[in-house]
Amino acid sequence: LPDELDTLPRVAEQAGFRVRGLLVTHADWDHLLGSYAFVDAALGLPDIGACDDVAALQQVVPLPGDPALRTRLEALASRLADADARRNTGSYATALALVRPILEEARRLGYRPFEAEAALLQGQLEAMLGDRRGAEASFEAAVWAAEAGRQDEIAARAWVHLLSVVGNDGAEYARGLVFVPRATAAIARLGGNTGMEALLENALGSIDLSQSKVATAIAHLEKSVALFERARGPEHPETARALDQL
């Protein structure tokens, strides 16, 4: 295989870990087959198509060369996938309890792209549980680790979440909008990313809606829906959530 494959950010591997995490989370198959939460979570699995973006994959800091470190990283990735599966099925407090020690171990391990993934998930869970200050700190940590690890996709996502948690959840509109150029710069480094652009438009629409700027809010949200449909498809939960805001 080409040497470049060593720089893959484990997109396919993460998908496998997360499928196993979902199955562990839903061990009761009767419940599983009728679970809307499971369907929503399954549709939220990583996009294997991301592997097609060779330039973006090659810029990420390579995986550790030490086999022992790789083994530790694989074990942490599996645990993070389980936590993410629990987040996707609504068990936010349980997921957060799982993520916190993973992030601490990731920091000791020192592989920044994975550290960024863990910090991002911790921030998402803290935001879902109403811990705005904790979420802000976690997203800032995710940005730092992502930029240190040259993982622009996670950096972009963390900047958008910072914009949302500060500008929308915290109603600090002006401070939240300061993060927009950082988010767009990270998206530009990716060569553009329709899904990330959709998240950004959605966040901007929510902030405008919070300020009763209805016309601009609708414009942002309509653009968000169109981008989500292009990136994820019309049946994807993110597309449906964007439509619900209109």
| Residue owning tokens 């499971």 | 38
> Which residues lie closer than 8 Å to 236 by C-beta, 6 or more apart?
43, 228
- Supply the pLDDT for residue 118: 96
Q: Read off the DSSP letter of residue 129.
A: T
Residues comprising the chain, all counted: 246
Report the candidate in 198, 218, 217, 109 with the shortest Cα–Cα distance to residue 157. Answer: 198
pLDDT at 2 over 50: no
pTM: 0.76
Identify which of 167, 22, 169 has the alpha carbon closest to the alpha carbon of residue 86: 22
Residues 24-69 have pLDDT tens digits of 444 443 443 444 343 344 344 444 444 444 444 456 777 778 889 8
Residue 93 has pLDDT above 50, yes or no: yes
At 184 the pLDDT is: 93
d(CA 230, CA 103): 33
Torsion angle, alpha carbons of 212, 207, 191, 58, to 10: -170
145 vs 34, residue with greater confidence: 145
* For the chain, percent of residues with pLDDT exceeding 90: 55
CA atoms within 13 A on the CB side of 142: 26
Q: Classify burial at 92, counting beta carbons within 10 Å of its beta carbon; exposed 0-12, middle 13-18, buried 19 or more.
A: middle
Answer positive or negative: Cα dihedral of 41, 191, 177, 222: negative
Q: Work out the mean pLDDT of the chain and round it to a whole number.
A: 80
As a whole number of angstroms, the distance between CA 187 and CA 201 comes to 12
Cα maximum dimension of the chain: 55
pLDDT tier at 11, thresholds 50, 70, 90: very low
Interval 113-141: pLDDT, tens? 999 999 999 999 999 999 999 999 999 99
On the 0-12 / 13-18 / 19+ scale of CB atoms within 10 A, 91 is middle
